[in-house]
Amino acid sequence: MTIAATMAAPQAQSGSIGLIAKRATAVFMLMFLAACQSVIPKGGQGPDGPPPVESPDPGNVVLSDGDRHRVALLLPVTGADGDVGQSIANATTLALLDTRNTNIRMTTYDTALGVDAAVKKAVADGNKLILGPLRSDDVIAVANVAKPAGVPMISFSNDVGAAGPNVFLLGHLPSQSIDRVVKYAKAQGYTRFGGIVPKSVYGQRASSNLTNSVRAAGGALVSVQEIDGSTVSIDAAARKLNAAGIIDAVLIADNGRVAIATVPALRKAGLSSAKILGTDLWNIDASVAANPMMRSAWFASVSDTMFRQYADKYRARFGRAPSRLSSLGYDSVLLVARVAQNWKLGTRFPVARLTDPDGFIGIDGAFRFAANGMSERMLEVQEVQAGKHATIDPAPRGFATTK
């Protein structure tokens, strides 16, 4: 397995990943040990589109462009999504500093000021790789400019409809979260499933994912109901599920706020003992663990173990907690830094190296890319307990491959 990140780990760590970590290159062993100062990238203003903001050179060493690979970071660092985008941008800076990387020039382009202008500027500036964008509806716009120019993308989106050759999705894909929790529930004896999904493209895909996962696990899908998020639609969906037949597990494929509103409706409708299942959307919402009605619910997500270590370091440097999604920014830089070790200056980004079947290791655990741009992750199952999420079935440590 290629190492994109090696976290500080307990001496008790064992197995293949622990062994590989000991053999990792020195640059990645320095992660979480770097103490140099950082500069927080900010978005800019300009009539011709967002001016670029360059990340700092590690150790304040000034290098010429001829010594570094140019990589563009396309994010909304102002506007409505500015907090999340800025947190991801901060994470990329932290990753560059932690790895003491000196051969990557990272430049931030603010998509909140116009995604078309941002990507055109990024390509015109000679960037060989794009990290981002964040929003799924921006991915196609960026790809329409980047692909003809031969510039591959590693997007932070999880919209599977946007993936394709040279357009890789680093975002956590809902289909994998659904499949993981359904298979785990089936292994624990739950056989008859129901589903609550939003009336949206996301909901349609979630419904299809749930159907396929239940079938593959050998269970029975009794009924799937759509909701628009309102109390009326939630109550109606709960009653229809209860009337559809015996259901011993219900997947709520929506965010934490909707799940918190849906569980009481399911209990009131008669599904008093059904196991509640969810997706990784719950992992970014602290209110789920704080709500007593959500206790004992299960959902599948990336592991939080390494994220907690990263969050402490992020907080110490930037003075605030990171967005849960910021780990995507950190891992994207670790991945690129790893590939850049053998990336010849002046050449195109070696995109074929992204599809190493052994995958990579990052803050969010093991992951790998397929040639179609989709990512695959090793997920764990978590249980909602009083004020916390507890791991009840750990993520596999790596991918089984044959060579």
240 and 323, same domain (yes or no): no
Rounded-to-integer distance, Cα 92 and Cα 98, Å? 10
What was the pLDDT predicted at 65? 60
**What token pair was written down for 242?**
């209860």
In a domain, 204, yes or no: yes
Rounded-to-integer distance, Cα 106 and Cα 127, Å? 9
In a domain, 400, yes or no: no
**First vs last C-alpha separation in the chain:** 12
265 and 354, same domain (yes or no): no
324 and 240, same domain (yes or no): no
Q: How many domains does the chain have?
A: 2
43 and 145, same domain (yes or no): yes
The number of C-alpha atoms within 13 Å of 72 and in the hemisphere containing its C-beta is 31
239 and 326, same domain (yes or no): no
Rounded-to-integer distance, Cα 213 and Cα 192, Å? 12
In a domain, 1, yes or no: no
What was the pLDDT predicted at 52? 58
Domain range enclosing 112: 16-172+304-372
Q: What is the DSSP string of 361-393?
A: EETTEEEEE-TTS-EEE--EEEEEETTEEEEEE
In a domain, 161, yes or no: yes
In a domain, 378, yes or no: no
**What token pair was written down for 232?**
């009326």
* pTM of the complete model beyond 0.85: no
**What token pair was written down for 350?**
């070696």
Helix ranges (H only) for 34-129 are: 82-98, 115-124
Q: What backbone torsions phi and psi does residue 336 show, to the nearest 5 degrees?
A: -65, -40
Q: How are beta strands 153-155 and 167-169 bridged, if at all?
A: parallel
Rounded-to-integer distance, Cα 164 and Cα 156, Å? 14
In a domain, 355, yes or no: yes
In a domain, 399, yes or no: no
Mean pLDDT of each 10-residue bin along the chain, 403 residues long: 33 31 33 32 34 50 66 97 96 93 92 97 97 93 95 93 91 93 98 97 95 98 97 98 98 96 98 96 90 97 92 96 95 91 90 91 92 94 95 87 49
251 and 308, same domain (yes or no): no
280 and 347, same domain (yes or no): no
CATH of the domain at 199: 3.40.50.2300
78 and 179, same domain (yes or no): no
231 and 93, same domain (yes or no): no
Rounded-to-integer distance, Cα 41 and Cα 55, Å? 6
Could you give the angle at which helices 305-318 and 82-98 cross, rounded to 10 degrees? 100
What was the pLDDT predicted at 67? 80
153 and 281, same domain (yes or no): no
**What token pair was written down for 220?**
């029975």
Q: What is the DSSP string of 159-228?
A: -GGG-BTTEEE-SPPHHHHHHHHHHHHHHTT--EEEEEEESSHHHHHHHHHHHHHHHHHT-EEEEEEEE-
81 and 165, same domain (yes or no): yes
In a domain, 250, yes or no: yes
What was the pLDDT predicted at 246? 97
85 and 163, same domain (yes or no): yes
